Amino acid sequence: MNETLPCMPVHRDSLLDPPAEYHQLREEQPLTRVRFPNGTTGWLVTRFEEGSQVFSDPRMSARRPRHDVPAEEGAEEAPFDPTFVMMDEPDHSLYRRLIAGRFTPKAVAQRLQPYLDRIVDEHLAAIAAGPDTFDLVEALALPVPCLVICELLGVPAADREGFHHATERMMDTGLSREERGAGAKWLIDYITTLVAAKRSSGDTEGLLADLIAIADEKDPILTEAQLVGMGVLLLFAGHDTTAAMLGLSALTLLTHPQQRRQFLDQPEKTRPAVEELLRYLTIVQFGLGRVALEDLEIGGERIRRGELVVVAMPTANRDPRAFDNPDTPDFDRRMTRHLAFGYGVHQCLGQNIARAELSTVLPRLFRRFPGLRLAVPADQVPMDTYGTNYAVKKLMVTR
Ligand code: HEM
């Protein structure tokens, strides 16, 4: 069928809000037929309840094509073996369980928080000793998540510029398939080399070494390609997301004086405030796809087997049916859940790490530098509008 359909909206008109067209789509119906940037047609889900249904329905497969990049002739998009983020049950849980113990609130508090406390204080001290005006992304929002993921995985901190640059290329929907593929290949080669080095040195520190031990068992459930794929997944998913959230959260607090005051005056509000920032900013800006395994109905629409369904999480998290006054960051909001980390079996494995980083970095930054302000007008802050994760590229501030 040759349908003439609206394209999935991607251009933002306002710094911290999803594209304005979503508002109308969401008011008209919960699901809309659209054409995705990859050229395929399917369903865009703009409401919260229906989005949650898509993520929790086992008839919706996580084995999906990448919908947010333009279709190009040539090789397949998925550059490495699908990891558990692209698997369905029971395989998904089998692999996720292998590493889940490292991500519990207790494991994060015991094994990562002391390190996090130390590096945040070190970075704040370096900022205090440096020039009055500086780039907050370069000085804090990017290095902290990079160092945390290095610590978790057992990756040398000195390599962080290389893996961040490769991640950026892989995630940039504005680049060609070839350029994105080069980013992915860099990450694969990097983890492959690191795995070999760890095997030969007998290094047992970190999550990558745990995975190597599993892959080296007799009759292993992890193949070599899966081991490398999981290392790559954790490396990019574990730092780019949190760095984006830290930069955008700082921008939000810098441009919302009342929320900033509340954030500082009421330390007990840190956790709810972080949760609200996650909802309000919902950085996975082009949403997440699923593919229907059979004909089914959601939001009164008949979805056919094989159709792509994308949950537009930034918009679903602004649905007035689920959140009062959704376009305002409200730190007093009583909220039971949001979709910033997804929902259902694939809900973000690293969410406790992300929360720990956000609730350590943000209050300490604003307490240490009470006069912190933007060094350029807010509308001139360069934004990464093409990245899978919406982010500030650079955040010039004066302390
Ligand atoms: C604010 C920061 C973060 C955000 C907004 C975020 C967002 C998400 C989302 C939306 C998903 C669901 C994917 C899907 O349903 O297809 C996800 C999954 C995942 N995230 Fe995160 N993430 C963040 C931080 C992290 C960190 C710090 C790590 C690792 C250290 C991590 C590792 C993962 C992994 C391994 C998955 C796959 C889970 C599965 O399929 O079972 N994430 N994340």
Q: Which domains does the chain have, with CATH numbers?
A: 21-398 (1.10.630.10)
In sequence order, what are the residues at sequence separation of 6 or more whose Cβ sits closer than 8 angstroms to the Cβ of residue 125? none
Residue range 308-322: mean pLDDT, rounded: 98
How many angstroms does the Cα of residue 342 sit away from the middle of ligand 1?
8
How many angstroms does the Cα of residue 114 sit away from the middle of ligand 1?
22
User: Which tens digit of pLDDT belongs to each residue from 11-22?
Assistant: 999 999 999 999
- Rounded distance between C-alpha atoms, residue 383 and residue 390, angstroms: 8
Q: How confident is the model at residue 75 (pLDDT cuts 50, 70, 90)?
A: very low
Residue range 381-385: mean pLDDT, rounded: 95
Residue range 204-212: mean pLDDT, rounded: 95
- Rounded distance between C-alpha atoms, residue 171 and residue 386, angstroms: 8
What pLDDT score was predicted for residue 176? 87
**How far apart, in Å, do the first and last CA atoms of the chain sit?**
58
What pLDDT score was predicted for residue 81? 66
Q: Which residue's C-alpha comes closest to atom 7 of ligand 1?
A: 341
The proportion of the chain whose per-residue pLDDT surpasses 90, expressed as a percent, equals 84
What pLDDT score was predicted for residue 76? 47
List Cβ<8 Å contacts ≥24 apart for 324-328.
Answer: 327/17
HEC letters along 344-376: HHHCCCCHHHHHHHHHHHHHHHHHHCCCCEECC
Strands 41-45 and 288-292, by their bridges, are unpaired
Please choose, from the candidates 266, 261, 343, 264, the residue with its C-alpha nearest in 3D space to the C-alpha of residue 50: 343
Q: Position 349: which residue type? A: L
> Ligand 1, closest atom to CA 283?
5
What pLDDT score was predicted for residue 50? 98
What pLDDT score was predicted for residue 170? 87
The proportion of the chain whose per-residue pLDDT surpasses 70, expressed as a percent, equals 97
Count CB atoms within 10 A of the CB of residue 127.
20
> Ligand 1, closest atom to CA 84?
40
What pLDDT score was predicted for residue 74? 52
User: Which tens digit of pLDDT belongs to each residue from 3-12?
Assistant: 689 999 999 9
Q: Which residue's C-alpha comes closest to atom 42 of ligand 1?
A: 350
State yes or no: pLDDT of 71 exceeds 80.
Answer: no
> Ligand 1, closest atom to CA 339?
10
In sequence order, what are the residues at sequence separation of 6 or more whose Cβ sits closer than 8 angstroms to the Cβ of residue 75? 177, 181
HEC letters along 178-206: HHHHHHHHHHHHHHHHHHHHHHHHCCCCC
- Rounded distance between C-alpha atoms, residue 120 and residue 126, angstroms: 10
State yes or no: pLDDT of 127 exceeds 80.
Answer: yes
User: Which tens digit of pLDDT belongs to each residue from 33-42?
Assistant: 999 988 899 9
Count CB atoms within 10 A of the CB of residue 181.
18
In sequence order, what are the residues at sequence separation of 6 or more whose Cβ sits closer than 8 angstroms to the Cβ of residue 261? none
What pLDDT score was predicted for residue 242? 97
> Ligand 1, closest atom to CA 345?
41
State yes or no: pLDDT of 79 exceeds 80.
Answer: no
Beta pairing partners, 310: 44, 289
To test the pocket of ligand 1, the residue of 61, 241, 275 to mutate (highest count of ligand atoms within 8 Å of its CB) is 241
Please choose, from the candidates 43, 85, 81, the residue with its C-alpha nearest in 3D space to the C-alpha of residue 64: 85
Ligand 1 pocket by C-beta < 6 Å: which residues? Answer: 62, 84-85, 96, 149, 152, 233-234, 237-238, 241-242, 245, 283-284, 288, 340-342, 346, 348-350, 353-354
Higher pLDDT, 342 or 183: 342
Q: How confident is the model at residue 2 (pLDDT cuts 50, 70, 90)?
A: low
Predicted structure pTM score:
0.96
State yes or no: pLDDT of 78 exceeds 80.
Answer: no
What pLDDT score was predicted for residue 166? 87
Which token pair is 122? 């070190």
How many angstroms does the Cα of residue 237 sit away from the middle of ligand 1?
6
User: Which tens digit of pLDDT belongs to each residue from 245-280?
Assistant: 999 999 999 999 999 999 999 999 999 999 999 999
**Do the beta carbons of residue 358 and residue 273 sit within 8 Å?**
no
> What does pLDDT average to over the chain?
94
Residue range 155-162: mean pLDDT, rounded: 92
